[in-house]
Amino acid sequence: MNTSDDQNSIFPKGERASADYFTGTVWVKMLIPNDPNLNCQIANVVFEPGARNNWHTHPGGQILIAIDGIGYYQEKGKHIQLLHKGDVVKILPDVVHWHGASHVSEFTHIAINPNTQKGIVTWLERVTDEEYKKYAP
Amino acid sequence: MNTSDDQNSIFPKGERASADYFTGTVWVKMLIPNDPNLNCQIANVVFEPGARNNWHTHPGGQILIAIDGIGYYQEKGKHIQLLHKGDVVKILPDVVHWHGASHVSEFTHIAINPNTQKGIVTWLERVTDEEYKKYAP
């Protein structure tokens, strides 16, 4: 399912992300499907305000590149970190984390999964409203 | 050396690229330096009109994501391909290629090098003006 695309955005919005692993409305446009020659998968993800993914890990790590809006990123046991356009997040293998939009703004990032020969993602529990609301500016 | 940055661009322009491997003015902003945990290096590259890199290969392959302007991409023995914002190029390991701006427009792409445990880049000969001018719309 596609929506009409913002003319200023770099990529089309893509497909609705599964409610099994995401809270709120999230759109995923696959840019590079997992490729055994590159061991890499790349997607553009648009989170509507308040939307986020579940806690999860990547066996090969992940890099996020924020390209629009304002987002949140949290590693287990640490504070929620604010993300703006141009910010880059390096996520080491097996680090438990989540990411999504802030309360007030849509958020778009490119997600790069390297080392996919080790696997891509292990989904964990949902990020509760209580956890999400803990962002303190 | 930095220049004043375009407020609409996602990343700062970064450093001037080496004249040994680039023709014309090119700016490289390293986003993720090569990392042994991620086996990945990511940079944002801005090419001024007419600028391009030398012919080269990547032992682990490469992905280009065009984010602004109009660019050229060519694999050895094929025609020059036009790149616009949102285009994604998958470059297989050891494929001889070059990329850069078009004649008429600046061009910005994100360059993702996966599998850096195999090496990052092998630089080859310069892209001559004759080769560069072969783009035929």
What does the pLDDT read at residue A84?
98
Instruction: With CA atoms as reference, report the closest residue to B32 among A137, A6, A114.
Output: A114
What does the pLDDT read at residue B43?
98
Q: pTM for the full model? A: 0.94
Instruction: Give the whole-angstrom CA distance, residue A73 versus residue A100.
Output: 7
What is the average per-residue pLDDT within A47-67? 98
Instruction: With CA atoms as reference, report the closest residue to A21 among A4, A43, A3.
Output: A43
pLDDT in tens, A8-40: 799 999 999 999 999 999 999 999 999 999 999
Contact between chains at B115 and A42 (C-beta distance less than 8 A)? no
What does the pLDDT read at residue B135?
86
What does the pLDDT read at residue A88?
98
| pLDDT classification of B6: cutoffs 50, 70, 90 | low
ipTM metric: 0.93
Q: Determine contact: A59 vs chain B, CB below 8 A.
A: no
Instruction: With CA atoms as reference, report the closest residue to A31 among A17, A46, A43.
Output: A43
Q: Determine contact: B95 vs chain A, CB below 8 A.
A: no
Q: Which residues of A touch B71 (CB under 8 A)?
A: none
Contact between chains at A39 and B114 (C-beta distance less than 8 A)? yes
Q: Mean pLDDT score of chain A, rounded to an integer?
A: 94
pLDDT in tens, A95-131: 999 999 999 999 999 999 999 999 999 999 999 999 9
| pLDDT for residue B101 is more than 60 | yes
Neighbouring CB atoms inside 10 A of B82's CB total 14
Contact between chains at B10 and A110 (C-beta distance less than 8 A)? no
Side-chain half-sphere CA neighbours of B112 within 13 A: 28
- Measured CA angle at B87 (ends B82, B91), to 5 deg: 85
What's the gap between Cα A36 and its chain centre? 22
Residue from B8, B13, B38, B41 to probe the interface with A (highest A Cβ count within 10 Å): B38
Rg of chain B on CA atoms, in Å: 14
What does the pLDDT read at residue A44?
98
Residue from B5, B13, B37, B84 to probe the interface with A (highest A Cβ count within 10 Å): B37
Query: Is residue B41 within 8 Å of residue B116, measured between CB atoms?
Result: yes
Instruction: Give the whole-angstrom CA distance, residue B5 versus residue A124.
Output: 40
What is the average per-residue pLDDT within B16-20? 96
Contact between chains at B39 and A114 (C-beta distance less than 8 A)? yes
Handedness of CA B56, B62, B63, B65 (dihedral sign): negative
| pLDDT for residue A4 is more than 60 | no
Contact between chains at B65 and A31 (C-beta distance less than 8 A)? yes
Query: Is residue A59 within 8 Å of residue A115, measured between CB atoms?
Result: yes
